[in-house]
Structure 1
Amino acid sequence: MKTYQIIVAAAIALFPHTGNIKAQNTVNIGKSNIILNSRMMTPEAMWAMGRIASAEASADGKKIVYQVGYYSVKENKNRQVICTTDADGKNNRQLTTGTQSETDPTWTNGRIAYLSAGEIWTMEHDGTDRRRISDTKGTVEAFKFSPDGKKVIIVKSLPFNDIIKKNPDDLPLATGRRITDLMYRHWDHYVESIQHPFIADVNTDGTISSVMTDILDGEPYECPMEPFGGIEQLAWSPSSKTIAYTCRKKTGRDYAISTDSDIYLYNVDTKETQNLCKEKGYTPIPVSPTHTMKDQKVNSDENLKNNPGYDTNPQFSPDGKHVAWLSMARDGYEADRNRLCIYTFESGAKDYVTESFDSNVDAFCWSADSKTLSFVGVWHGCINVYQTNMKGEVKQLTNDWADYISIAPANDGNKLLAMRQSLSAPTDIYIITPGKEVKKTKIEQVTKENKHILDQLTFGKVQQRWVKTTDGKDMLCWIILPADFNPDKKYPTLLFCEGGPQSPVSQFWSYRWNFQIMAANGYVVIAPNRHGLPGFGTEWNEQVSGDWTGQCMDDYISAIDDAANNLPFVDRERLGAVGASFGGFSVYYLAGHHDKRFKCFIAHDGAFNLESMYTDTEEAWFSNWEYEDAYWNKPLTANAKKTYDNSPHKFVDRWDTPILCIHGEKDYRINANQGFGAFNAARMRGIPAELLIFPDENHWVLKPQNGILWQRTFFGWLDRWLKK
């Protein structure tokens, strides 16, 4: 483990945290019987919680297998385990017996298949009769069995030297990389391998043949797609004769500027491939690589029939007559509205069945009769469950202050299996029985993974508040009150600035940006769903692109001014602003435009210099769409000129408030030089500032001790400036 590094300005002493965070008992890598020293949430309590990662019902609907991650702060690592429970929540048991992680549990032929040390294993539902059935020298990264159980898709990585060239054999110790095109690194790693899906037979004894067929044999493309794609990007047909898969068949600069992925149909017997998104004979349309694709021919009305945007995550209908997938309309726009597309094999027609739902479809599943699809999507700051029929008639099934983050068949009539979380509860598994109307839908909690910890904690109350924006619209703000709230007191208050820029401020549970731990530390949290977030219609969501420093920044000010002027428990003399990614950019911008409203700032992985950011980021389509032009283009569009003219680094002369900058050096989406630049500028200005830099973290903070260091530094900074 690398040593943590805190770089602190020489003139500013690093104050040790003296607030209410207390050391907790060390937790083993497994479910903890931790006894807390306080009713208030601490970082150690959060890291002791089990994190449910997946859930799947057995074919008869009686059992659920799921994966949980447990973390050890002392050992600074995690262990993934496999558990089962009856569908009614009884007979919950952990099946994992070894010390290493076991992951990706799924049902096949009545047994549980899973990954361990890069190989596929199976076991009975009670954890007995464990058998290793693959022999790949530990190279399996994901898998999916065919419905008939006779074949399996295996995802493995292959060396990729098209862009980063292989070093000469006689220089085995050379560490240099010779790079010849764009997309040479992605998210947090250099692209020197790509994943490919292979097909293998399952032998009569249940083992997997070592002879495998590469679905993308000889093609320099990845499947699943970087950086977050998984096995959900491939699907077997009910007949087990075809596979639908997701792929963006581009490399280098073409890849870097485009979001055009398609759904392909692969015939297992003939090995023929058909593109379901593009017309036969389609010829790629040339594009300008340094200008937004909003007004380019690739996104013309005529070409939209060829699905130029993201198309991902196919699922066949149970009767095999259709395949559905998530579809974004336009190329270059990674935050376009995700719609549910249904392709009918008999006619070749593509129908979009969620058009009346003016927000994103995040996940979906087919009903057993192949006539209905259930999906989850965000609306007004909550991710609820909906259904649509083949005609596109959408109805809502749940109406909770919660986020349903997955949906799947429960294999028991029309019941659904879901994972659910909220601002006050980490993820658990639920069974949903749809009703004819929302109030008749039945929701049953199956797991209570962290009850032993949650029962010891006091959480702050969550409230909803609608605030008028400067353009006369209504904006939803979540208000989270301190855990020991007293209405007669005044509290320091934090404005939370969301990332994305098009990510919802929903009922998410985070293990870092956790509103309840902020409440436990005595802060009121104001979390606005500003312009530019999904869940309030397409017009609201798209307003931010090309206008990063306009209406959305006015919305932040409207939210904090409303709280300071109208909520008697908010102390207007003790206000802070915090945020990550676009939220970090927002903090850097507000630092030069807040008119002394705030007493301190915290920016995590935020963009500081947008000209630098344009060429720093690896996914060039993002900057093209959001800024509209490369900064060197002449003439710039009006939006591009406004964007670059209002870059936060151009207003450092107005900075007058203490700021903490946090960044991961393996963040290749927003490079660490952005954090270095902001911190260095603050110190050159003589402003109290600190920089928390993580050499081994990416856009997130994933290691337990780094996570606790992050929390202690975060609250140490806030307490220093807001609790005087």
Structure 2
Amino acid sequence: EEIPHPYIASFDGKQLTDITDIMEGEPYESPMKPFGGIESFAWTPDSKAVAYTSRKKTGMEYSLSTNSDIYLYDLSTQETKNLTEGMMGYDTTPAFSPDGKYLAWGSMEREGYESDKNRLFIMNMETGEKQDLTSDFDYSTDELAWSPDGKSLYIRSAYQGEIHIFKVGLDKKIEQITTGYYDYASLAPVNDNCLIAMRHSLSQPDEIYSIDPQSKEVKEISFENKDILDQITMGKVEERWIKTTDNKKMLTWIVYPPHFDPSKKYPAILYCQGGPQQPVSQFWSYRWNLQLMAANGYIVIAPNRRGLYGFGQEWLEQISGDYGGQNMKDYFSATDEMKKEPFIDGDHMGAVGASYGGFSVYWLAGHHQKRFKAFIAHAGIYNLEQQYVETEEMWFANWDMGGAPWDKKNATAQRTFATSPHKFVDQWDTPILITHGEYDFRILASQGMSAFNAAKLRGVPAEMLIFPDESHWILKPQNGVLWQRIFFRWLDRWLKPQATTTDQQK
């Protein structure tokens, strides 16, 4: 069976000997699927023990629980100790301080809530005392690393629509190290005056940078994409704070076409984020690339709607149990506000998204009241009741939907399932393109097929692109090229007024 386990071995520079499976006979994963990697392990500085992350559950419990723990394996005694017993959420990414006195890790508090705040915890290895260093910091820890002097840690954190590096002292004092329209994608302290980090933005793929944490000076040290980027004109990226229906301010990224002319009118695209709790930050993607959308002549509207990291815990948590609620009003607020701009062609606006963004598109299709002229949904949830019994992550469905559809006394669950997009197909009247991967077990391809059939049966113009060899994500380069071609062919057909009437009737 393909259950990943950690092994340790002696290495003399040429070959491995004394190979030991430190989870011998255990039916559990370490690293944890699907995203776990080398960050799941940490040697003690004296090399006498190794810490690892595992969620020691099987069967139904495995699908219901997010309770992973940090375990310490002692090389001499071959004994394993659970260091986070009784901490019920995800406990991940162990890292020992340089002197071995402390263990740091990321910890979520609540079992079954995969998007809970990821807290920065440390444990005194002598006394076993645990402390949350980010209890006064209303943001989540994405990655952590000890400073070489062992007096503080560096973390990455989604913050106000960007992902930045912060320094956290053992006294809980927190200092922001990086700024700007960027996402820092990794960090590695070298010495007290130097961090090495990877960084990207909506306008640039990853490059490697050095950062002086004292002066905050950032220098690029790799230029892998320079030759290509020098040949490309990127569109302007602007942050707007748009007022929501409940009088809050919502950061919305606007990406303009290259060579933007404010005296002209441009079609616009509302970008609906997946997750649902994933920040609309300065991300770089080869599929959902906002600059590529802008380069095709569209103004892109990308709101950090309710339910996203980077704006505090209240903003993040609001979406759970409110799928068809405030976050959808947030989308309408952004759309309606931008429609007032003279350079936006309000008669030619579209909405696109994947996963929860696909759900959002299906939901908008039944509620948008003629705001949009075209939709694209990838790997979206069409029927919430079906999704509940189809997905492989039951903790996700339980937490976000509030419970099972058959639990008639559960008001939150009943409210969620009442907002399912499939219940509003009678209102669908707008052309829709649906794409899905057949190896998708998070949201089965039958969801996309059902939505496509419903649109066709309603007489709504619809196309469907199924990838028989893709999962929840389109990962193969040739499939990605095809996806982009179909994506823009569909948008151009419905959102560019110069499209002929006959073409629209095909």
**Deviation per residue, 1:89-147 (Å, 9 max, x gap):** xxxxxxxxxxxxxxxxxxxxxxxxxxxxxxxxxxxxxxxxxxxxxxxxxxxxxxxxxxx
Instruction: Give the 3-state SS of the residue equivalent to 2:154 in structure 1.
Output: strand
2:11, 2:17 within 8 Å by CA — same for their partners in 1? Answer: no
Q: Quote the residue 1:381 is aligned against.
A: 161
The 5 A counterparts of 1:440-451 are 440-451=215-226
Q: Quote the residue 1:195 is aligned against.
A: 4
The 5 A counterparts of 1:384-423 are 384-410=164-190, 412-423=191-202
1:202, 1:208 within 8 Å by CA — same for their partners in 2? Answer: yes
Task: State the shift of 1:391 in Å.
Answer: 1.6
Task: State the shift of 1:357 in Å.
Answer: 2.0
Q: Quote the residue 1:359 is aligned against.
A: 139
The answer to whether 1:583 aligns with 2:374 is no
Aligned-partner residue type, residue 424 of structure 1: S
Q: Distance in 2 between matches of 1:554 and 1:693?
A: 30
The 5 A counterparts of 1:21-100 are none
Task: Give the TM-score, by structure 2 length.
Answer: 0.97
1:464, 1:476 within 8 Å by CA — same for their partners in 2? Answer: yes
Task: Give the TM-score, by structure 1 length.
Answer: 0.68
Q: Distance in 2 between matches of 1:491 and 1:264?
A: 56
Aligned-partner residue type, residue 382 of structure 2: F
Task: State the shift of 1:207 in Å.
Answer: 2.2
2:147, 2:192 within 8 Å by CA — same for their partners in 1? Answer: no
Runs of 4+ in 1 over 2 A off after TM superposition: 207-211
Candidates 340, 343, 346, aligned match of 1:572:
346
Aligned-partner residue type, residue 88 of structure 2: P
Q: Distance in 2 between matches of 1:537 and 1:469?
A: 16
Q: Distance in 2 between matches of 1:661 and 1:639?
A: 29
Q: Distance in 1 between matches of 2:174 and 2:136?
A: 7
1:663, 1:694 within 8 Å by CA — same for their partners in 2? Answer: yes
The 5 A counterparts of 1:398-477 are 398-410=178-190, 412-435=191-214, 440-477=215-252
Q: Quote the residue 1:694 is aligned against.
A: 467
Q: Quote the residue 1:559 is aligned against.
A: 334
Q: Distance in 2 between matches of 1:639 and 1:630?
A: 10
Q: Quote the residue 2:72 is aligned against.
A: 265
Q: Quote the residue 2:30 is aligned against.
A: 223
Q: Quote the residue 2:501 is aligned against.
A: none
Instruction: Give the 3-state SS of the residue equivalent to 1:623 in structure 2.
Output: helix
**Deviation per residue, 1:251-306 (Å, 9 max, x gap):** 0100100000000011011111111111xxxxxxxxxxxxxxxxxxxxxxxxxxx2
Q: Distance in 1 between matches of 2:129 and 2:323?
A: 38
2:358, 2:378 within 8 Å by CA — same for their partners in 1? Answer: yes
Q: Quote the residue 2:53 is aligned against.
A: 246
Candidates 463, 484, 494, aligned match of 1:711:
484
Task: State the shift of 1:696 in Å.
Answer: 0.2
The answer to whether 1:491 aligns with 2:266 is yes
Q: Quote the residue 2:503 is aligned against.
A: none
Aligned-partner residue type, residue 5 of structure 2: H
Instruction: Give the 3-state SS of the residue equivalent to 1:217 in structure 2.
Output: coil
Task: State the shift of 1:227 in Å.
Answer: 0.5
Instruction: Give the 3-state SS of the residue equivalent to 1:194 in structure 2.
Output: coil
**Deviation per residue, 1:524-559 (Å, 9 max, x gap):** 000000010011110000000000000000000000
Q: Distance in 2 between matches of 1:364 and 1:429?
A: 18
Q: Distance in 2 between matches of 1:633 and 1:413?
A: 56
Q: Distance in 1 between matches of 2:109 and 2:381?
A: 27
Q: Distance in 1 between matches of 2:416 and 2:33?
A: 28
The answer to whether 1:313 aligns with 2:88 is no
Q: Quote the residue 1:186 is aligned against.
A: none
The answer to whether 1:335 aligns with 2:142 is no
Task: State the shift of 1:628 in Å.
Answer: 1.2
**Deviation per residue, 1:56-91 (Å, 9 max, x gap):** xxxxxxxxxxxxxxxxxxxxxxxxxxxxxxxxxxxx
Instruction: Give the 3-state SS of the residue equivalent to 1:330 in structure 2.
Output: coil
1:387, 1:397 within 8 Å by CA — same for their partners in 2? Answer: yes
Q: Distance in 2 between matches of 1:218 and 1:704?
A: 38
Q: Quote the residue 1:281 is aligned against.
A: none
Instruction: Give the 3-state SS of the residue equivalent to 2:301 in structure 1.
Output: strand
Q: Quote the residue 1:660 is aligned against.
A: 433
**Deviation per residue, 1:481-536 (Å, 9 max, x gap):** 01121110010000000001100000011111001101110000000000100111
Instruction: Give the 3-state SS of the residue equivalent to 2:382 in structure 1.
Output: coil
Aligned-partner residue type, residue 313 of structure 1: T
The answer to whether 1:722 aligns with 2:495 is yes
Which segment drifts farther, 651-660 or 359-368? 359-368
Task: State the shift of 1:611 in Å.
Answer: 0.5
Task: State the shift of 1:210 in Å.
Answer: 4.3
Q: Distance in 2 between matches of 1:211 and 1:243?
A: 16
Q: Distance in 2 between matches of 1:228 and 1:398?
A: 26
Aligned-partner residue type, residue 582 of structure 1: Y
Q: Distance in 1 between matches of 2:27 and 2:133?
A: 33
Candidates 479, 485, 488, aligned match of 2:254:
479
1:364, 1:408 within 8 Å by CA — same for their partners in 2? Answer: no
Q: Distance in 2 between matches of 1:697 and 1:495?
A: 25
Q: Sequence identity, in percent?
A: 59
The 5 A counterparts of 1:275-290 are 275-278=82-85
2:149, 2:192 within 8 Å by CA — same for their partners in 1? Answer: no
Q: Quote the residue 1:103 is aligned against.
A: none
2:268, 2:298 within 8 Å by CA — same for their partners in 1? Answer: yes
Q: Distance in 2 between matches of 1:200 and 1:219?
A: 19
Aligned-partner residue type, residue 215 of structure 1: I
Gaps of 5+ in 2: 498-506
1:368, 1:414 within 8 Å by CA — same for their partners in 2? Answer: no
Q: Distance in 2 between matches of 1:626 and 1:483?
A: 39
Q: Distance in 2 between matches of 1:210 and 1:321?
A: 30
The 5 A counterparts of 1:109-148 are none
Q: Quote the residue 1:507 is aligned against.
A: 282
2:407, 2:413 within 8 Å by CA — same for their partners in 1? Answer: no
Q: Distance in 1 between matches of 2:343 and 2:465?
A: 31
Aligned-partner residue type, residue 381 of structure 1: G
Aligned-partner residue type, residue 184 of structure 2: Y
Task: State the shift of 1:639 in Å.
Answer: 1.5
**Deviation per residue, 1:34-75 (Å, 9 max, x gap):** xxxxxxxxxxxxxxxxxxxxxxxxxxxxxxxxxxxxxxxxxx
Question: Larger Rg: 1 or 2?
Answer: 1
Gaps of 5+ in 1: 1-158, 160-192, 279-305
Q: Distance in 1 between matches of 2:346 and 2:209?
A: 41
1:200, 1:208 within 8 Å by CA — same for their partners in 2? Answer: no
**Deviation per residue, 1:166-213 (Å, 9 max, x gap):** xxxxxxxxxxxxxxxxxxxxxxxxxxx21011111113xx12334411
Q: Quote the residue 1:523 is aligned against.
A: 298
Aligned-partner residue type, residue 717 of structure 1: W
The answer to whether 1:605 aligns with 2:367 is no
Where is the helix percentage greater, Structure 1 or Structure 2?
2
1:356, 1:394 within 8 Å by CA — same for their partners in 2? Answer: no
Q: Quote the residue 2:320 is aligned against.
A: 545
Instruction: Give the 3-state SS of the residue equivalent to 1:563 in structure 2.
Output: helix
Q: Quote the residue 1:675 is aligned against.
A: 448
**Deviation per residue, 1:556-612 (Å, 9 max, x gap):** 0000000002x2211100000000100000000000000001000000000000000
Candidates 182, 202, 212, aligned match of 2:19:
212
1:367, 1:414 within 8 Å by CA — same for their partners in 2? Answer: no
Q: Distance in 1 between matches of 2:473 and 2:212?
A: 36
Q: Distance in 1 between matches of 2:408 and 2:339?
A: 43
Q: Distance in 1 between matches of 2:62 and 2:478?
A: 36
Candidates 103, 107, 128, aligned match of 1:348:
128
CA RMSD of aligned residues (A): 0.8
